[in-house]
A and B are shown apart, each in its own frame.
Chain A
Amino acid sequence: MKVEAKPKELAVEKNTTTGADVFIRSLVDADVDTVFGYPGGAVLPIYDALYRANTPFQHILCRHEQGLIHAAEGYARVTGKPGVVIATSGPGATNLITGITDAMMDSLPIVIFTGQVATGVIGTDAFQEADIIGITTPITKYNYQVTDLKQLPRIVKEAFHIASTGRPGPVVVDIPKNISEKITVDEFDTAFHLPGYQPTVKPNPLQIRKLADALSRSERPLLLAGAGVLFADAAEELKAFAEKYQLPVTTTLLGLGSFPGTNELALGMAGMHGTYTANMAIYECDLLINIGARFDDRLTGAIKHFAPNAKVAHIDIDPAEIGKNIKTKIPVVGDAKEALKQLLDVNVKSTNHDEWLHSLKSKKEDYPLWYDRSKELISPQWLIEQVYETSNGEAIVTTDVGQHQMWAAQFYKFDNPDKWVTSGGLGTMGFGFPAAIGAQLGRPDELVVSIVGDGGFQMTLQELSVIKERNLPVKVIIINNEALGMVRQWQEKFYEERYSESLLTENPDFVKLAESYGVKGVRVNNEDDVPKVLEDVFSYNGPVVVDCRVVKRECVFPMVAPGTGNHEMIGVTR
């Protein structure tokens, strides 16, 4: 199909319509409302076109390219829409690598446009040339280099399609400068051409039958809900299914919110820092129905002890995830929502498993999450509970990586989907704060709380400029333990307390630091002040950074020590 180029109306002068104008128009056509970008030599034509087009979508200038991509991830996580990033060639593009890998690991739909040197000099080590296609091949769902302007609109369309369908993921489009500078051609090749890409959405009814059949015979069934439920927008169906058959539900770290955390059937998160009940349920169940989780090793612990008594069923849109880590009896390839709908349509005569529910209920009561509340100082777990209470459990919470992340996962009970934004697969420090910026832009009317460590916050705090500039009311809660807490914990437990390079004795004054960016800064040192401070902070109409001085030597419990099984948790009780 050949169509007339439309972008002419965007250009100031008719004759100056360039590849860059075509590009901006393609973004508008893709319904892009927010772009996270940073200019540079190779994207100057694009930035000029953006300017001339009167910036038809909001453009967020983060202060480091890593900020761009994590912000785009946060945006994608809470809206379900692809996050869009523009960066220049060479260093601009390479600064994105951590975030692209993060998005790949956590299956986030991100479309990244990188500038490139002109096609004529590619391969000559030209100024700011980096082989971004080569570099990003293993960390993208797909990537393109545009070598002919005619193809640009098609490539942009395909990029959004690939990023956001099937199992989502990042797609890179590399645009050489001469392509974006080029005075436009009249004819474009816009026909979609992806014959090798047809994700299976509708599951095979035969497999659904098998699953229903297994359920009808199970005495100790268990649902494991992962991020796939959220990607599929299937939280409602999951709840209906669990309640219909009274199935207990555990989630992965990234599946939090896919099932109401306060529901009676909820067992909490499973895995390394999951609840004792959830992990024992996995150990004891006779049927494990995994819906949209990829059986990551933080979840499974030692594989040989994982669900040893269970028949495993796995619903996943990516067939390659089924049977990858865990032997699976009932594979169901397809979208979680479709599968759950089909399952709800089958009337399973399930066995009575009251006894099973009862035993899990008493485990929940006997072995709840616990911590020793400090008398003088703020206990970080208690603080998270206060954040939960004060925000009525309704905030969008983004975290960085480390102890605070685990405490947030344990003590903030997410009842609703798409409120939890964290870096799971790559575990990227520096993620939490920029992700909150993206989340706030995607959900301008919601309370966004970014819980970060004093270590990780220092990796991307330059983005304070952005929350100031845009007056984004993000609330940054620094769980300040003057340490790389998670590392310190492992050194305490597994390296005989040799605290090698894990204590942060020279932190900045975070309050003054925030103030220097023009952002309100607050410090809390003792418990009594916490409720009031949080009240004030959450009702304040603007960004705030709260430096919370907490107990320095807390550990995250319970825990599955590396190499052991989920049933061998340590620190289950005091």
Chain B
Amino acid sequence: MKRIITATVQNRSGVLNRVTGMMVKRQFNIESISVGPSETEGISKMTFVVEVSDEQKLEQLTKQLNKQIDVLKVTDITDKAIVARELALIKVGSSSQNRAEIQGVITPFRASVIDVSKDSLIIQVTGNPEKIDALIDLLKPYGIKELTRTGVTAFQRGRQPENVQEMNALIF
């Protein structure tokens, strides 16, 4: 099962290495990681998307994360109402002939073209991973020359409604 786990950590050198090293050593399957500063100076926020086989493995993961000296708080937000966002930059082959067509493809995704050259376009898209997957699929026929994704970063929503799991089913 896929889980989204966030951790707030002391921003000390080596903390990312320690955390990811632990996950690799204990054979947790990391799909993506994003790390960045939080609202508090000296504290960073990490968001992991992991694939775990069962509840026991999941419990181990959160416990092992919690055990790290620099980790302040670990939350499995998968079953919470959340906003999850990822950013992707996609370079596709394009000429003057199909530029408008591509624009048509990306508009419903609220993606934007941030660079244009003679034979390529760079598209920026933000959203949940599923949406990004969908856009990538649609752009494949034009030839994807380069692709980079930031990995998911996520928050719990301010309000936690009842039917959270259904809502989240839309994310993954």
Chain A residues engaging chain B, CB cutoff 8 angstroms: 133-134, 137-138, 141-143, 145, 162, 194-197, 318-320, 323-324, 327
Contact = CB atoms under 8 A, between A and B. Distances in A.
Given A141-B69, A196-B72, A319 B63 contact: yes
B17 A195 contact: no
A466 to B, nearest CB: 34
A197 B56 contact: no
B59 A318 contact: no
Interface stretch (B8-16, B126-134, B156-164): B8-16
Contacts of B18: 137
Given A320-B63, A324-B60, A134 B69 contact: no
A320 B68 CA distance: 11
B13 A145 contact: yes
B69 A318 contact: no
B59 A323 contact: yes
Contact of B25 (A134, A138, A327): A138
6 contacts: A138-B22, A138-B25, A194-B69, A195-B72, A196-B71, A320-B64
Interface residues of B, number: 21
A162 B69 contact: yes
Interface in B46-88: 56, 59-60, 63-64, 66-72
B93 to A, nearest CB: 39
Contacts of A133: 14
B153 to A, nearest CB: 21
A134 B56 CA distance: 29
A134 B17 CA distance: 8
A318 B63 CA distance: 9
Contacts of B17: 134, 137
Nearest to B63: A320
B68 A196 contact: yes
B36 interface: no
Most buried by A among B13, B17, B66, B69: B69
B37 interface: no
B143 interface: no
B21 A138 contact: yes
Given A162-B69, A196-B72, A320 B60 contact: yes
Given A197-B69, A323-B56, 9 more contacts: A137-B17, A138-B22, A196-B71, A318-B67, A319-B63, A319-B66, A320-B60, A320-B64, A320-B66
Please list the 10 inter-chain residue pairs (A to B) with the smallest Cβ-Cβ separation, ordered nearest first: A320-B63, A196-B72, A142-B69, A197-B69, A320-B67, A137-B18, A138-B21, A320-B64, A196-B71, A319-B63
A131 to B, nearest CB: 10
A323 B60 CA distance: 8
Interface in B85-103: none
Contacts of B63: 319-320
B59 A143 contact: no
Nearest to A196: B72
Interface in B122-153: none
Contacts of A320: 60, 63-64, 66-67
Contacts of B72: 195-196
A145 B12 CA distance: 11
Interface in B1-45: 9-10, 13-14, 17-18, 21-22, 25
A142 B67 CA distance: 11
A137 B64 CA distance: 14
B21 A137 contact: yes
A196 B59 contact: no
A508 to B, nearest CB: 39
Contacts of B68: 196
A194 B18 CA distance: 16
Contacts of B59: 323
B83 to A, nearest CB: 26
B49 to A, nearest CB: 21
Nearest to B70: A196
A196 B14 contact: no
A323 B21 CA distance: 22
A141 B68 CA distance: 8
A168 B9 CA distance: 22
Contacts of B14: 133, 137, 143, 145
A288 B66 CA distance: 27
Contacts of A327: 56
Contacts of A137: 14, 17-18, 21
A318 B60 CA distance: 12
A196 B10 contact: yes
